[in-house]
Each structure stands twice: as structure tokens, then as C-alpha cells.
Amino acid sequence: MKVLILIGNVPDTNTKVKFNADRTAFDTAGVQWIINPWDELALTRALEVKEAQAGAIESITVANVGRVETEATLRKALAIGADKAFRIDADPADAYTVAAQLAPHCKEYDIIFAGVEASDYNGNAVGPMLAELLDIPSIAGVSGFNVENGKAVFTREIDGGSQTVTAPVPVMAIVQKGIAKEPRIPAMRGIMMARTKPLQVIPPQAVDARMKYAGFDLPPAKAACKKFTEEQARELIHALRDEAKAL
């Protein structure tokens, strides 16, 4: 089976979010970029399966739509263990443009993994959109993946429980937490090898975005926390009922 993992390039989760003066764009000055957390977990799980079962996974490719700055993130995915990478040289203007840029280059893969969202714009869109463009089934809320007797088996989270699901390939898995325990960290040997692994740059097509951000705001400042002592614990509960009307 050939596996493709979509790799989002997102600000480090500790980033203090700032915008430009008229608050129309995210200020990237000084931002550290990382692999979108769910994408990193999907890559980790695919590698675990590839290593545990000889022949179950033939190759792992990672892909990103972005400009040259995102190559460091793709190289990190190669250092973690992916076999090859491609980058489509376009601005990821919205989820639709990302999916549309990717679609012509994703036809050869059996399983495509996409994160449930990117931790920057929290769009929840690229994976299912790409699946629709490819006309393949997609499974949402995937928290487990294995290959059993040559067949892909997924665990997915549903309202109030979980299920084991199979699907014919090609199939798209929309990944959430749980698929792997901890993301794998690149080892020195992996970093050395990543330098020579193939990273293909593909020219973009013309695609129009379907949504955009007109502006941003920081969340309104919270009023100061009302402090109680340990001895006043019961009074706090009363305040929740009488003052906050939350009970």
C-alpha cells in the first residue's frame, strides 16, 4: 500500500498570536514553524505499521502546498522517516485551493491521511475536500490505524463511542488524537538521510479561493478572577448559583 500524508506547516503551539496593524493578517515575525500536530501523529503511526509489518506499507510520501519557506517542515517529516516528499508551490489561500492544488497529484495513493484541522485557522476542511475531488470515501475522527491481512482497518470516534471500520482503498482518513501516542522525534541519522531524500517541487495551477478572512480580533480580555480561600469553598459554589447563574 502506498500512503500519502498531508503535512500542514503551522506556528508552534506556544506562539503568542499577533496580527498586522489593521488586523487583516497574522503577523509571522519571529514565529517558529512546526508540523501540524495531527499530521505528525499520522506520520508516526504510518511508520509504526510500516516497521512492524514487512510489506504492509510500500512507501510513505508527505505533501504540502506552500512556498519555499515550508520546506524545512517537509524535511522534518522526511527526517522522522517519510520516504519522499512533494511541495506544490502555491500560497495556501484557503482549504479549497489547497485541496484543488493537491488533487491531480494524489491519484496513485491507497491511503491518504489528513489532520482533522490545522492548528492555525482550525479549518477542518482540506482532507474531506480532497477526498471529494478524488471521489473516494473518507472516514472522520480516526483515532487508530492498522493493516490486517493486507487490509486497512481504522478506529474512529463517533458521538458517544468508537467503531472499527474498514473501507476499500483508495480511502482518506481524517486523523485526530489517539492514532499514535507521542509524535516521533527525528534522530540524527534521520536528519542526515533526509537531506538526500527526494523533495519534488510542483508548479501550481490557477485556482480561486472561496473564502477569506476579512479581519481578526483578539478575544476580549477577561475580568479578573474572583478569588476565594480554601475555607470559603462552599461560598464559591453559592456564587456560581446566585451570581454567575451557572448552576
Ligand X SMILES: Cc1cc2nc3c(=O)[nH]c(=O)nc-3n(C[C@H](O)[C@H](O)[C@H](O)COP(=O)(O)OP(=O)(O)OC[C@H]3O[C@@H](n4cnc5c(N)ncnc54)[C@H](O)[C@@H]3O)c2cc1C
Is residue 141 part of the contact set for ligand X (CB under 6 A)? no
Residue with cell 509489518: 53
Is residue 122 part of the contact set for ligand X (CB under 6 A)? no
Is residue 244 part of the contact set for another protein (CB under 8 A)? yes
Q: Measured between alpha carbons, how far is 136 from 201 in angstroms, rounded to an integer?
A: 25
CB half-sphere exposure, 109, CA atoms < 13 A = 24
User: Which of ligand X, another protein, none does residue 234 bind to, with CB < 5 to 8 Å depending on kind?
Assistant: another protein
Is residue 37 part of the contact set for ligand X (CB under 6 A)? yes
Closer residue to another protein, CB minimum distance, 52 or 244: 244
User: Which of another protein, ligand X, none does residue 146 bind to, with CB < 5 to 8 Å depending on kind?
Assistant: none
Stretch of 51-59, 75-83, 139-147, 197-205 lying at the interface with another protein (CB under 8 A): 139-147
Is residue 13 part of the contact set for ligand X (CB under 6 A)? yes
Question: Which of 7, 106, 112, 129: binder of another protein (CB under 8 A)?
Answer: 129
> Could you give the string, one character per residue 208-227, with x where binding to another protein holds by CB under 8 A and - elsewhere?
-xxxxxxxxxxx--xx-xxx
Residues in 3-22 that interact with another protein by CB under 8 A: 11, 13-17, 19
Is residue 127 part of the contact set for ligand X (CB under 6 A)? no
CB of 104 to another protein, least distance (A): 15
Is residue 52 part of the contact set for another protein (CB under 8 A)? no
Residues in 57-86 that interact with another protein by CB under 8 A: none
CB 183 within 8 A of CB 37: yes
- Bridge partners for 9 per DSSP: 35
Q: What DSSP element (H or E) covers 62? A: strand 59-65
Q: Measured between alpha carbons, how far is 19 from 115 in angstroms, rounded to an integer?
A: 25
Give the length of the chain.
Answer: 247
Give every CB contact of residue 61 below 8 A, 6+ residues apart in sequence: 2, 3, 4, 5, 82, 83, 84, 85, 86, 109
Cβ count near 98 (within 10 Å): 28
Q: Which residues bind ligand X (CB under 6 A)?
A: 13, 37
